Amino acid sequence: MPASPAVSPVIRVQLYARFADLLGASHVDVPASGPTTVADVLARIRSLPGGSAIGAGALVAVNLRQARPEQPVSPGDEVALLPPLAGG
Amino acid sequence: MPASPAVSPVIRVQLYARFADLLGASHVDVPASGPTTVADVLARIRSLPGGSAIGAGALVAVNLRQARPEQPVSPGDEVALLPPLAGG
Amino acid sequence: MSFLSAEALDVNGLLAEVSAPGRGGIAVFIGLVRDHQAGRRVERLGYSAYAPMAELVSAEIVAEAERRWPVRVGLRHRLGDLGIGEAAVAVAVAGAHRDEAFAACRYVIEEVKRRVPIWKRERYADGTEEWVDPTRQEIARSEERDQEVASSEKRGQEVASSEKREGSAVW
Amino acid sequence: MSFLSAEALDVNGLLAEVSAPGRGGIAVFIGLVRDHQAGRRVERLGYSAYAPMAELVSAEIVAEAERRWPVRVGLRHRLGDLGIGEAAVAVAVAGAHRDEAFAACRYVIEEVKRRVPIWKRERYADGTEEWVDPTRQEIARSEERDQEVASSEKRGQEVASSEKREGSAVW
């Protein structure tokens, strides 16, 4: 019985400001076949071309709130990678 | 030889706000035949009708600056008696 | 520009006066006629001043603030008969950074209240009038604070009544 | 009213929004585009935001301030391309007394800078552009402060040049 082509689950990560420039994209899709944390997502994006310049000040927001590295992330979440904030 | 009628030296004290109401005047003239201090002026005004209601919070300004009780006052000075300040 | 003003205070004009390309922050304080004072309902307020001294002292306060911090200060005080919600005093302080703008703004308003010869006469809802004596109101004011703290514990009601008052805001 | 604004910030509108008959003091902070940053000459500033998060977090900051103090808070942030002297952020806080208005105003602007996802891209006089990274500018900023302290010791010159800049103020 042939396996139906599986749709690999991904976490879509929106990129903002300087990080969008660095990766040349407004978002990237990170594979999430197993349990995935904010730290996993960040490590994966840092391994992409241009991603090595993402510094320690980077923030990850999950569902509009700043998330800690150990927080789990699922494909349905709204995830965003944010450079150091500079409002005001 | 008849004495010419002497013009008695006075210190004109401007009254402001509640103090003008209390004494029913915009200013009073305080006799100043000898050395006179801010405290003397204040005591004299307190002895006038209505003056007894002038409380401890009263300020005296001499030439546009708050003056201490022991400060001397002369007839040429601009003197004002000020109720507690309430600006703003 | 003179400190005392018989006309309504122009906050935008004050902002323009202190603005400059090198100044990135403006802290402003506006004191308005409030509808209550020491527990009584206020209808109007009449401001009067010992004008030459008020001009001198206010200029000194501005100079002190501009010496102490790298800021530019604009300051006005209204005179005459004011209704609820009208601006009685306005301070605008512009600086390169917000720390100094806030610090100088606070300094100026405190010194104005402490040193400038201005008085106010309140007219109450019951038709009576009285000169305001801040030295006599200290006790009443602390009692009023206690009431405010107590009422802010009834949070839902407070928000509802604050929304209602909003409708009759005067500016 | 939304926090983010593509239009010029309306300070008078913000004052009207927070005013009410029971509120006797309004503290305001306005952050403007400054002509220098970390020692470089700035010509324009482009603001962008992660909008849904910026709206959520700013609403939370306003709610926090209104819970902590008996005040009403109005808050706006500009987006897009701004010239020198244009207002980027405006906070207005009205309360019965000035203590709480100042305290809440300061709280709100600090939290906005710390928590709201907004970024700025500076264009410099030499034509280059750069994203502003406050975490990298801490050192430059403290050096700039040292310069400002040094220059404020040359008081006469400083006043003269500040008068000159006044002429080109934008508001």
For B51-80, the pLDDT digits (tens) are 999 999 999 999 999 999 999 999 999 999
Backbone φ and ψ for A53, nearest 5 degrees, come out as -85, 0
The answer to whether the CB atoms of D131 and A17 lie below 8 A apart is: yes
Hey, which residues does C122 pair with through a beta bridge? C45, C130
Among C101-115, C127-141, D18-32, D86-100, whose mean pLDDT is lowest? Answer: C127-141
- Tell which residue, D55, D127, D43, has the closest CA to residue D82: D43
DSSP letter string over C66-83? HHHSSEEEEEEEE-EEEE
> What is the band of A83 on the pLDDT scale with cuts at 50, 70, 90?
very high
For residues C75-95, average pLDDT: 97
* Mean pLDDT rounded to a whole number for chain D: 85
pLDDT at A7: 74
- Which residues from C are below 8 Å from D29, CB to CB? 25-28, 98, 101-102
Query: What span, in angstroms and rounded, lies between the C-alpha atoms of A29 and A10?
Result: 6
What pLDDT is attached to residue D150? 46
Q: What's the whole-model pTM score?
A: 0.85
Return the pLDDT at C157.
38
The alpha carbon of residue C120 is apart from the nearest alpha carbon of chain D, in Å, by 14
User: Greater confidence, A52 or A1?
Assistant: A52
**Mean pLDDT, range C116-141, rounded to an integer:** 86
In this complex, the residue of D12, D85, D106 whose CB is nearest that of residue C19 is D85
Neighbours of chain D (3+ CB pairs under 8 A): A, C
Complex-level ipTM: 0.85
What rounded mean pLDDT belongs to chain B? 93
* CB D45 within 8 Å of CB D151: no
Other CB atoms within 10 Å distance of the CB of residue C124: 15
pLDDT, tens digit, 9 for 90 and up, residues C102-114 = 999 999 999 999 9
Q: Are D25 and D93 in contact (CB under 8 A)?
A: no
In sequence order, the 6+-apart residues with CB closer than 8 A to the CB of A5 are: none
Which pLDDT value is given to residue A74?
96
Taking the C-alpha atoms of residue C113 and residue D101, their distance in angstroms, rounded to an integer, is: 16
Nearest CA in chain B to C76: B88
Q: Which amino acid, one-letter code, is at A31?
A: P
pLDDT digits (tens, 9 = 90+) for D53-85: 999 999 999 999 999 999 999 999 999 999 999
Report the chain D residue with the minimal C-alpha distance to residue C153. Answer: D67
Q: What local confidence, expressed as pLDDT, does residue B40 receive?
A: 97
**Segments in chain D forming alpha helices (H):** 11-18, 51-68, 98-115, 134-153, 155-166
The alpha carbon torsion through D162, D165, D170, D171 (nearest 10 deg) reads 20
- Average pLDDT (C111-140) is 89
Residues of chain B with pLDDT > 90, as a percent, come to 90
Range in C36-40, C159-163, D60-64, D148-152 with the lowest mean pLDDT: C159-163
The pLDDT assigned to A33 comes to 87
Task: Read off the pLDDT of residues D89-126 as tens digits, 9 standing for 90 and up.
Answer: 999 999 999 999 999 999 999 999 999 999 999 999 99
How far apart (Å, rounded) are the C-alpha atoms in residues D88 and C98?
13
Predicted confidence (pLDDT) at residue D133 exceeds the cutoff of 80: yes
Beta-strand pair C71-78/B79-82: unpaired
Query: What whole-number distance in Å separates Cα of residue C148 and Cα of residue C150?
Result: 5
Q: Do B87 and C119 touch (CB under 8 A)?
A: yes
pLDDT band at residue D137 under the 50/70/90 scheme: low
Of chain A, the percentage scoring pLDDT greater than 70 comes to 93
Determine the pLDDT at residue C123: 96
Burial of A87 (0-12, 13-18, 19+ CB in 10 A): buried
Residue B61 DSSP class: E
Q: Which residues contact D164 (CB under 8 A, 6 or more apart)?
A: none
**pLDDT tens per residue, range C10-23:** 999 999 999 999 99
